[in-house]
């Protein structure tokens, strides 16, 4: 189980990241540890949740933010 984030800046926390999947407008990030507030601010991270990627709450948050990003809405 890990922490999941979307990065709007395409940067991700070094040393905490298990994997990063580059998308057209954002990066999907899986981290071993929770990102610190300064990392969240500087890398424009959006928290999706803690658990496995196929968990309902993470999928719901991912789909919500993915639609917002791709349609240009905040």
8 A C-beta contact, residue 61 and residue 21: no
**Domain range enclosing 57:** 2-70
How much is the pLDDT for 74?
Answer: 53
How much is the pLDDT for 28?
Answer: 97
How much is the pLDDT for 73?
Answer: 62
How much is the pLDDT for 10?
Answer: 87
Structural domains counted in the chain: 1
Ranges of the chain whose pLDDT falls below 50: none
């Amino acid at each position: 189980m890990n922490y999941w984030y979307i990065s709007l800046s395409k940067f991700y926390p070094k040393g905490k990241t298990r994997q990063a999947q580059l998308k057209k407008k954002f990066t999907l990030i899986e981290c071993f540890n929770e990102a610190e507030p300064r990392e969240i601010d500087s890398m424009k991270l959006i928290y999706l949740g803690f658990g496995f990627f196929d968990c309902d709450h993470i999928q719901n948050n991912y789909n919500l933010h993915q639609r917002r990003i791709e349609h240009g809405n905040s």
